[in-house]
Amino acid sequence: MTLRNKLVDIALEWQKCYGVAPSITSAISEYDAALLVGMTEREYSEYMKDKTAVSKGSDFVFNHQRYQVKANRPSGKPGSKVTKVAKATNYLWDKLIWILYDKNYIMQEAWEWDVNNYELEFDGKSRISPDDYRRGKCLYQKK
């Protein structure tokens, strides 16, 4: 069992016992996004070892591209359907990846935007929906 799967199992067990899962979506999505763009688990581990949880701009760099990652995961409880997604607050990155998970942290879809197109499309918008992000480049879609 991978470390990622262990973390997910613990978060889901926590949610079962205490009602709300711990906030792991950010860590899981950055890891998943890195693998989606071709980074190996070892490369990701080496890259992240000296990083902090808060870094302005990008979440990781791979092949000279700075990646910003956004993700959503519904809890599965009534009213938890994802209708609003996070918007990038700066443009200190080259590519943004948005990932949508199901309630078990299983990736359902992933979309990529380059910074110029993202800024043109979303800079003046105050609310972004999953359908907005789906107009980007599809990196993954569960069949």
Helix (H/G/I), strand (E/B), else coil: 101: strand
Closest CA to 43 of 51, 34, 52: 34
Please give the tally of structural domains in the chain: 1
Tell me if 3 is assigned to some domain.
Answer: no
**What DSSP line would sit under 60-77, residue for residue?**
EEETTEEEEEEEE---SS
In-domain check, residue 37: yes
Q: Which domain holds residue 78?
A: 25-141
Any alpha helices (H) in 19-124, and if so which ranges? 25-36, 41-48, 115-122
Residue 29 maps to a domain = yes
Considering the domain boundaries, does residue 41 fall inside one? yes
Per-residue pLDDT of the chain (143 residues; tens, 9 = 90+): 899 999 999 999 999 999 999 999 999 999 999 999 999 999 999 999 998 877 788 999 999 999 999 999 998 888 889 999 999 999 999 999 999 999 999 999 999 999 999 999 999 999 999 999 999 999 999 98
Q: Is 47 exposed, middle or buried (0-12, 13-18, 19+ CB in 10 A)?
A: middle
Q: What is the pTM of this model?
A: 0.95
In a domain, 9, yes or no: no
Q: Note whether residue 4 is domain-resident.
A: no
Would residue 5 count as lying in a domain? no
